[in-house]
Amino acid sequence: RMKEIRRYLHENPELSFEENETSKYIANFYKDKDCLVETNVGPNGIKVTIAGKHPGKTIAIRADFDALPIKEETELPYASKNEGVMHACGHDAHTAYMLILGETLIEMKDQLRGNVEIIHQPAEEMPPGGAKGMIDDGVLEGVDHVLGAHVMSMMETGKIYYREGFVQTGRAYFRLVVKGQGGHGSSPHTSNDAIVAGAHFATTAQTIVSRRLNPFETGVVTIGSFDGKGQFNVIKDTIT
């Protein structure tokens, strides 16, 4: 059943802050189950509270459910039906196992000490993300601890890896526009080549981590897009 849920979600991906149907699907899954379901948290987020029979702490477990603006080319029988949108980061899997976990915890709630909150978070891929909206709406009020999980292709199938503290990095992004003076490729001396300047920046930016960051801390700088499209023999005046 978990596989069926995951494949359905994989076929029907939605971008960050546009996950209306996915949000409805998640909320509908908990319909008529013995739990408290709060919708439109954040917005589009879902908070499910499972009250244990015995006193104890409140543990929140979180999973995300948005997809990426990527064209799927896997040719799988359950490939994305939404052109240009794909679950390429595993959020379909996160949602599938979280739904089944939630259902299981509801069935065994009489054995639970304390409460469990299932947090289905939208818009993880779009900084600052759906988490901020959910937090602003009070999703973490009264929560003692939060557990997060993520599938990782480099880990061995069938095993769970865990550690205390941070496991993955947070994210910030920037957009840099380099403006120069265009010209013909045969006469670079008459221009101010934005591509060369941008290339120097892309290379030098990698020294931010090695030269500016404490070696005992973690960080990474990735240039994910370098746009200087145009005629091959024309020196560009602007790159992004």
By annotation, the residues acting in catalysis are 66, 124
The answer to whether the CB of 70 falls within 8 A of the CB of 14 is: no
